[in-house]
Amino acid sequence: MRAHCWRVATLLCGLSLLTGACLAQNAPAQDTKQPSRKHYASAGVWELGGTLAFQRVTAVADGSTGNAVYTLSAYPYVGWFITQGLELGANPIGATMVIEEDTTDLDLLTLGSIAYVYRTGSMWYPFVEGFAGYAMQVRSVGGRNTSRDGLAWGGRVGVKAAIVERALLTVGAQYLQITRNPAGADERNGTNELSFLAGFTIWF
């Protein structure tokens, strides 16, 4: 009787194992693929940060350039990659202050940009960028304030380095031309600005 029970138990175990094996073989395979890891400069990536620029500013009055002055500017930045490497961005507000004797000029900028970032397969991301936007200057002379506005355009080139995960250090050079012609002006009035910049951004 005991031997018969063992035979029945062994047969049932065998049938169970065989049935389980068949079910496992015929069952749809579970998706074991991990979500693809997001990379910088991929479509859908957002970038947020800013740059600090050391500038050489040359004033232009009636088409003639004056003496250069040196100053610092700050530019916050937000960008979004519409496709791999191609980024639409904006500098919502940039500020530059130039002080000469009793004259203080405060320049405010709002710029939109388009950039291409090259993915090299390493920590380095070279880029080229063009931008254009609106410029306003508030000038204070002996306590009296006046304002002028106009258009700005330019470009920058540089490289971004992935120093830590999802954070980049930016270095580069920038040229910016601002035109603020008063009514009736026949020649250009404004500034030419050459900058060397460094910045920090995060991406997500």
CATH of range 46-203; options 3.30.365.10, 2.40.160.20, 3.40.50.2300, 1.10.460.10? 2.40.160.20
CA pair distance 10, 24, nearest whole angstrom:
21
H helix intervals, the chain = 2-26
**Nearest Cα to Cα of residue 178 among 60, 88, 63, 19:** 60
For the CA atoms of 20, 23, 26, 29, what is the dihedral angle to 10 degrees? Answer: -80
Where along the chain do its domains lie? 46-203
Q: Which residue has the higher pLDDT, 66 or 89?
A: 89
Please, are residues 136 and 149 in contact by the beta-carbon 8 Å criterion? yes
Amino acid at 118: Y
CA dihedral of 140, 58, 69, 57, whole degrees rounded to 10: 90
Which class for 55: exposed (0-12), middle (13-18), buried (19 or more C-beta within 10 A)?
Answer: buried
Q: Whole-prediction pTM value?
A: 0.75
What average pLDDT is seen over the chain? Answer: 84
pLDDT in tens, 74-126: 989 999 999 999 999 999 998 888 787 788 888 899 999 999 999 999 999 99
